[in-house]
């Protein structure tokens, strides 16, 4: 839980720190998209500003903010550059795991590391393996040390990270381990070939006899059954990305229409900005951005309560997961059509490669297929009609519940 011993930053104080930084990041977003230039410099700026320490208690060097405050800023960052908050998704979940862990030197060590700016990436999913219980990555004993061997894909954010949270099999047990990103035997590749979110560094990570000290073996890993906060939390980061995409799409379309002078001979106005049909499109884009943002923050409020109470109440965990699942369906159904509708404001001119307005739909479509909505919709219906359990999945490294309720 976040400590209240030292006051956390207010929203206005956070905006003074991060709003100028987000503006700088946004300024180069189109050029990075065109050149496939990974935002190393931009992530480093966030690292120096300790953006990854937003949830870290003040006494450990962080900002000590609440969950709602975090997700409000993630939306703003996504509006500036939608790739970056997705790249930081597992980092914030890792920090949350430390906040919920038993007090002690291990917890303090990693909270202080995050407070100093360290970032954590992930290497959980594997190529050609469709379920978390089929890991081919192995953690094996070699004398007085552990060795990690395997190949991962969808290693989102790991190229930007100081440490990598990896999921592996250890004698039939799913386990989470923390690996230094630049350790001997770690090879990373920017070979993510999706048509959207191209700069998330979601490619391949190879582990070849990577030495893992005992204190880097974190415990049960991703895919262990049972209610958890992390399924809703990790999904909500993706929804914050969608909300930010909608916000940027509305702004880009509005600014482009405002300066545009060319229209159609049969248009009802001489200027596009005076055209009631174009005005309607901008209004619908604005409504999509507002709705997505409101949904994300509503779920964040629920998670704020769940995490503040230690994430040990199963009923509260189910409520949080149900809220995130409902929000997922609503936000996708709102944002995806909006990012396609924006092209109605300018005809063929709106498809210019230089504008890259298409990136909003491509990015939104790519984010939306994470945890496919068809499965989530069915799970919600089965839960409400038949009392079926919702599909939870622990984050890699999340600790098992203790008698005190902490994780």
The per-residue b/e assignment along 187-223, b for 16 or more CB within 10 angstroms, e otherwise, is ebeeebeeebbbbbbbbbbbbeebebeeebbbbbbbb
Name 192's Cβ contacts closer than 8 Å, sequence gap at least 6: 154, 198, 200, 201, 202, 203
pLDDT at 252: 97
* Same domain membership, residue 381 and residue 245: yes
For 277-337, give the DSSP string.
HHHHHHHHHHHHHHHHHHHHHHHHHHHHHHHHTTS--HHHHHHHHHHHHHHHHHHHHHHHH
Record the pTM: 0.93
Residues 143 and 102 in one domain: no
C-alpha 278: how far from its chain's center? 33
Query: Strand, coil or helix: what is 140?
Result: strand
Instruction: Please state, in angstroms and rounded to a whole number, the distance separating the CA atoms of residues 286 and 299.
Output: 20
Same domain, 151 and 248: no
Alpha helices in 116-202 (DSSP H): none
Q: Are residues 244 and 376 in the same domain?
A: yes
Q: What is the model's pLDDT at position 131? A: 55
What would the pLDDT profile of 76-120 be if each residue is shown by its tens digit? Answer: 999 999 999 999 999 999 999 999 999 999 999 999 999 999 999
Mean pLDDT of 340-366: 94
Does the pLDDT value for residue 122 go beyond 90?
Answer: yes
Whether 281 and 329 map to the same domain: the answer is yes
pLDDT of residue 220: 77
Q: Would you state the structure tokens that stand for residue 90, as one six-digit string?
A: 């597992």
Number of domains in the chain: 3
How far apart, in whole angstroms, are the C-alpha atoms of residue 278 and residue 271?
10
Answer whether residue 54 is part of any domain. Answer: yes
- pLDDT band at residue 403 using 50, 70 and 90 as cut-offs: very low
Residue 399 falls inside a structural domain: no
The pLDDT score that the predictor gives to residue 226 is 80
Residue 277: inside a domain: yes
pLDDT at 244 over 50: yes
Per-residue pLDDT at 130 exceeds 70: no
The H or E element that residue 71 is part of is: helix 67-80
How far apart are alpha carbons 338 and 84 in whole angstroms?
A: 22
Rounded to an integer, the average pLDDT of 238-247 is: 98
Average pLDDT over residues 355-365: 97
**Residue the block writes with tokens 């936000």:** 331
- Close Cβ partners of 272 (under 8 Å, ≥ 6 residues apart): 257, 260, 261, 262, 263, 278, 345, 346
Q: What is the mean pLDDT of the chain?
A: 92
Distance separating alpha carbons of residues 336 and 303, to the nearest angstrom: 25
**363 found inside a domain:** yes
Q: Assess contact for 133 and 174: CB atoms under 8 A.
A: yes
CATH of the domain at 85: 1.10.540.10
Q: What is the pLDDT of residue 223?
A: 61
Q: Looking at 191-270, which runs of residues are DSSP E strands?
A: 205-212, 217-220
Place of tokens 């405050």: 69
Mean pLDDT within 180-190:
97
Query: Domain of 247?
Result: 229-386
pLDDT tens column, 252-267? 999 999 999 988 888 8
Is residue 399's pLDDT more than 50? no
DSSP-derived pairing of the beta strands 186-188 and 145-152: unpaired
The residues near 121 (Cβ < 8 Å, ≥ 6 apart) are 87, 90, 91, 155, 156, 157, 158, 159, 160, 161, 163, 164, 165, 181, 201
Q: Is residue 406 part of a domain?
A: no
Question: What's the pLDDT at 392?
Answer: 87
Q: Residue range 176-193: average pLDDT?
A: 96
Q: What number is the average pLDDT over the span 144-165?
A: 96
For residue 16, give both structure tokens. Answer: 């003074």
């Amino acid at each position: 839980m976040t400590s209240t011993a030292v006051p956390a930053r207010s929203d206005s104080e956070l905006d003074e720190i991060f709003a100028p930084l987000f503006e700088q990041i946004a300024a180069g977003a189109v050029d990075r998209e065109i050149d496939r230039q990974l935002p190393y410099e931009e992530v480093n700026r966030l690292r120096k500003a300790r953006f990854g320490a937003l949830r870290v208690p003040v006494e450990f060097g962080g900002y000590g903010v609440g969950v709602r405050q975090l997700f409000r800023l993630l939306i703003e960052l996504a509006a500036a550059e939608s790739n970056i908050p997705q790249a930081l998704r597992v980092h914030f979940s890792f920090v949350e795991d430390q906040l919920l862990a038993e007090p002690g030197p291990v917890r303090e060590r990693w909270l202080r590391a995050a407070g100093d700016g360290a970032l954590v990436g992930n290497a959980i999913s594997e190529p050609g393996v469709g379920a978390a219980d089929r890991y081919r990555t192995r953690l094996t004993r070699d004398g007085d040390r552990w060795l990690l061997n395997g190949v991962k894909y969808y290693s989102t954010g790991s190229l930007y990270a100081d440490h990598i949270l990896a999921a592996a099999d250890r004698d039939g047990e799913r386990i989470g381990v923390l690996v230094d990103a630049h350790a001997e035997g770690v090879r990373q590749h920017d070979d993510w070939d999706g048509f959207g979110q191209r700069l998330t560094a979601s490619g391949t990570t190879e582990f070849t006899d990577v030495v893992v000290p005992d204190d880097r073996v974190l415990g049960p890993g991703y895919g262990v059954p049972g209610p958890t906060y992390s399924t809703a939390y990790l999904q909500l980061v993706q929804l914050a990305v969608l909300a930010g995409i909608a916000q940027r799409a509305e702004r880009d379309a509005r600014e482009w229409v405002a300066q545009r002078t060319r229209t159609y001979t049969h248009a009802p106005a001489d200027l596009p900005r005076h055209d009631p049909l174009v005005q309607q499109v901008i209004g619908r884009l604005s409504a999509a951005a507002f709705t997505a943002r409101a949904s994300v923050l509503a779920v964040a409020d629920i998670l704020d309560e769940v995490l503040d109470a230690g994430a040990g109440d199963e009923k509260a965990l189910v409520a949080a997961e149900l809220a995130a699942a409902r929000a997922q369906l609503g936000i996708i159904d709102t944002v995806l059509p909006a990012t396609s509708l924006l092209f109605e404001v300018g005809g063929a001119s709106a498809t210019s490669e230089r504008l890259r307005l298409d990136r909003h739909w491509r990015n939104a479509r790519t984010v939306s297929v994470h945890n496919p909505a068809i499965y989530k919709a069915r799970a919600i219906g089965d839960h409400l009609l038949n009392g079926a359990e919702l599909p939870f999945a622990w984050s890699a490294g999340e600790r098992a519940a203790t008698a005190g309720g902490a994780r």
